[in-house]
A and B are shown apart, each in its own frame.
Chain A
Amino acid sequence: MPISSRDIDKSFQNKVEEIASADFRRCMQCGQCTGMCPVVEQMDFTPRQIMHLIQFGQFERVSQARSYWTCAACHSCMVNCPRDIDIPQVMEAMRLLVLRDNEDQVHPNKLSPEQLREMPQIAFVSGFRKLTA
């Protein structure tokens, strides 16, 4: 799909920059993040592709992606990034752009009795913090 400079959604990029101080423009597409990501096989776009789509301001496509809902914020990508980009922050910015519109990704009332019985408190707190509005 050809992309012209007119397709770059600058207001979307500005929002990402407002939430995350990480500079996605510095990404040189080396793919180290994707190589280090422990859950990449469950993602529809790799972390490198997400960074590329944001660099091209492709809000529509990035907002449909599931990748940042699979990201566990483990920071493996960041500590190995040769450009020192805080990629987990960019993923968090994408999550927040959706969550701030009140679109929850997990619903407490849909958790199974087994999950409610077995999971530690930190699982609920961290999961709800990252995946609900």
Chain B
Amino acid sequence: MKLAYYPGCTLKTKARNLEESALAGLRELGVEFIELDQWNCCGAVYSLATDDLIHQVAPLRNLIRVQQEECDAVFTLCSQCYNTLARANVRVNENAEDLKTLNTFMDEEPDYGGSVTVMHFLTLLRDVVGWDKLKSAVKKPLKGLKVAPTYGCSLIRPDPVAITPNNTPVIMAEFLEAVGAEPVQSPDSNTCCGSFQALGNPDAALETSGRILRSAQKAGAQALVLSCPMCDYNLGRRQPAIVEKYEEINEMPVYYFTQLLAVALGLEADVCRFDLNSPEKDGNTLTAAAV
């Protein structure tokens, strides 16, 4: 299978800690891929309107780029990019009329045939690398580190694009076990962080993100792990405001799961980019666990 990597806008700017740790980890695991050299923003959220197709042009154009590189599959690191590309792909595969309209509209592009598989990095680790191979590649298991997986929405909803079941998500816990950490089950692992309401209704985002942190803390987690720059903003960058508002919530490190991957594989600190994390910019909780 020939693999393409679609970065998306945030990976090249605010979420370099997600990208650099993931790609270094993937190279260490010996997975070959090409990074798309031409791509555009996917739109960040899937358009839910059925009467308008214009918002499907952006994701579809990216899938055409993958097709032009003669790749069978594309993977993303950002959960929102995954959701937007995967849902657009499902839509045009289920609705030939939509695909025809979009192909006609983008008459300067080759037609999209619908055959590209859209994957998230976690799916790639599970299905292409495999947990056993990952386990055997681990040099510094994250022994005793209690981590609460945070799936958010985009990886697990709706069902046709879910990478693990919405009500019983396991993929990130499986990943954590593979890198030697201890997954902690929190009842809010599949709760939304408030997403773009950080813009529209910041109080709502603060409240639901507070719930995620409170549940993880109650479950005994030392850190949260996630895959989405939007969740990272609401749970990490905005954490000082959450801790200030709810006195029962203590500060908790928030990491991208790919940073755990890089540490466990024994990669150099410069690819982990903890300097971009919030609140813990030195990654001490994580690196202290790696033995």
Contacts and interface: CB of A to CB of B under 8 A. Distances in A.
B12 to A, nearest CB: 9
Interface stretch (A4-12, A46-54, A55-63, A74-82): A74-82
A127 interface: yes
A20 B50 contact: yes
Contact of B51 (A18, A74, A121, A126): A18
Interface residues of B, number: 47
A86 B48 CA distance: 9
Contact of A106 (B166, B190, B200, B203): B200
A38 interface: yes
Given A88-B48, A126-B195, A131-B196, A70 B204 contact: yes
A39 interface: yes
Interface of B is mostly: loop
Contacts of A20: 48-50
Interface string A1-30: 000000000000000001111000000000
A115 B233 CA distance: 10
User: Main SS of the interface on chain A?
Assistant: helix
Contacts of B199: 106, 111, 115, 119, 123-124, 127-128, 131
A113 interface: no
Contacts of A72: 153, 192, 194-197, 204-205, 208
A78 B201 contact: no
A126 B78 CA distance: 13
Contacts of A93: 49
B229 A42 contact: no
Interface residues of A, number: 42
Interface stretch (B22-30, B38-46, B116-124): B38-46
A119 B200 contact: no
Nearest to B162: A79
B204 A73 contact: no
30 contacts: A19-B51, A38-B194, A39-B192, A39-B208, A42-B203, A69-B200, A72-B192, A72-B194, A74-B157, A74-B195, A76-B192, A78-B158, A89-B50, A92-B47, A115-B199, A118-B237, A120-B13, A121-B44, A122-B230, A123-B233, A124-B199, A125-B44, A125-B45, A126-B44, A126-B45, A126-B80, A126-B230, A127-B200, A130-B200, A131-B199
CB-based closest 5 A-B pairs:
A127-B199, A74-B192, A125-B44, A75-B157, A92-B48
Given A122-B80, A129-B44, 12 more contacts: A39-B197, A70-B204, A72-B153, A75-B157, A79-B157, A89-B48, A111-B199, A122-B81, A122-B230, A125-B44, A129-B47, A131-B196
Interface of A: 18-21, 38-39, 41-42, 69-70, 72-76, 78-80, 86, 88-89, 92-93, 96, 105-106, 111, 115, 118-131
